[in-house]
Amino acid sequence: MRTSLYILFSIFFLVSCSNKENQKEEIQQSTPTQFVFNSNKELGKEKLSEYGFFRGDLADLSPSENVHPYKLNSALFSDYAHKARFVQLPEGKSADYHPTEVMEFPVGSILIKNFYYPNDFSEPNGARKILETRLLIHEEEGWKALPYVWNGEQTEAYLEVAGATKSVSWRDADGSTQKINYSIPNMNQCRSCHLKDNKIMPIGPSARQLNGGYDYAEKGEMNQLEYWQSHGLLSNLPKEDLPKLVNYENENAPLADRARAYLEINCGHCHRPEGPAKNSALHLMASVDNPAAWGVGKTPIAAGKGSGGLKYDIVKGNADESILAYRMESTDPGIMMPELGRKMVHEEGLALVKQWINEME
């Protein structure tokens, strides 16, 4: 019954939202207010502006008073897209600290992730194009993932359960022009990446990922965990020995820590005992100490052509003979890993992982 209702809702919203991209009328944005949690079975609001997350021009992503920005120490690669993340918790409620997993958010919490490309990567705070906003809404029945697609005028984003494809170009840090057909996932694809024990769960906002500084508009540089606690967003935060995941882009951090952090955020949400890729027997969370669980000297269970004729997931000292690196450097849908969320090779991430493998003793 629930599956049938989901399909009916999906068809309804697909038809009603499919023509919004070409609308030219001026959008009247709602007044930024606390989003009132609704426990009925509605799929989601038609327009992003209806939630009241942002004040002023929607494209400025200026958060309302009860919406808080955050960032991750190590972020998922998404075809070089930049991200602006925010969280909204129901009034009087807070997330509960967890030392290893994503924090336990109360019902009514909303995680807001905006994907955009600066026109020029040498000016990351300059002109930009926002392509999508993904919401994770914590309802009584669990978390719900909703994709919103921005119009060309950058005045509104609309719920599109079937996802979309957007052409986007930018000038990279080297001054070269890059262009791709960027894929915005549909609801089922959102769900597949966020599964843990067959339930949709957030991936990023763990204490280890938030244990770092953020330059807040009203307070300046401040540790995010301390900010969350001081603003009533987090409870039961220990006073010391807080866990921390390194930033894999930080070249001053140990190579192994950087590579393991990269594999955790890009692969570990699926490749873990509770994840959808558990049958691979790869466990790529950075907290795992057993090299065999990462794939060292391990033969693949069911890689198919994804193995490239190679024998082991990781061969110490030889990235070119390692299936893990082979799949990272492919863009073939039947080979590449991660299999969703990218069309390009993350050259810097690939180089990091290959260096880590090549320097293994």
DSSP 273-306: TTSTTGGG-----TT---HHHHTBTPPPSS-GGG
In this prediction the pTM is 0.85
Residue 229 lies in a domain: no
Which helix (H) or strand (E) segment is 229 a member of? Answer: helix 224-230
Last residue of a domain, one of 193, 216, 239: 216
Residues 122 and 267 in one domain: no
Q: What is the DSSP letter of 107?
A: T
Note the pLDDT of residue 195: 73
Residues 207 and 261 in one domain: no
Residues 50, 35: contact at Cβ < 8 Å?
no
**What would the pLDDT profile of 75-114 be if each residue is shown by its tens digit?**
999 999 999 999 999 999 999 999 999 999 999 999 999 9
Which among 115, 102, 104, 3 is positioned nearest to 48, based on CA atoms? 115
Residues 24 and 152 in one domain: yes
Which among 168, 199, 149, 182 is positioned nearest to 21, based on CA atoms? 149
Q: What are phi and psi of 228, to 5 degrees?
A: -60, -45
Note the pLDDT of residue 303: 63
Last residue of a domain, one of 186, 216, 246: 216
Which among 245, 244, 269, 251 is positioned nearest to 339, based on CA atoms? 269
Q: What domain range includes position 276?
A: 255-358
CA dist 358 and 319 (Å) reads 6
Note the pLDDT of residue 196: 77
- Kind of pairing between the strands at 177-184 and 195-196: unpaired
Last residue of a domain, one of 216, 247, 275: 216
Residue 34 lies in a domain: yes
**What would the pLDDT profile of 59-84 be if each residue is shown by its tens digit?**
999 999 999 999 999 999 999 999 99
Domain count across the chain: 2
- Kind of pairing between the strands at 220-223 and 213-216: antiparallel
Residues 47 and 145 in one domain: yes
Written as six digits, the tokens of 271 are 């490749």
CA-to-CA dists, residue 34 to 11, 52, 140, angstroms = 29, 7, 18
CA dist 60 and 84 (Å) reads 11
Residues 134 and 7 in one domain: yes
Note the pLDDT of residue 29: 33
Residues 175 and 305 in one domain: no
Residues 81 and 187 in one domain: yes
Residues 141 and 59 in one domain: yes
- In sign, the C-alpha dihedral spanning 128, 345, 268, 2 is positive
Residues 297, 274: contact at Cβ < 8 Å?
no
Residue 224 lies in a domain: no
- Low-confidence residues in the chain, pLDDT < 70: 1-42, 192, 302-303
Q: What are phi and psi of 55, to 5 degrees?
A: -105, 155
In sequence order, what are the beta bridge partners of 158?
A: 47, 149
Which among 268, 251, 254, 273 is positioned nearest to 348, based on CA atoms? 251
Note the pLDDT of residue 272: 87
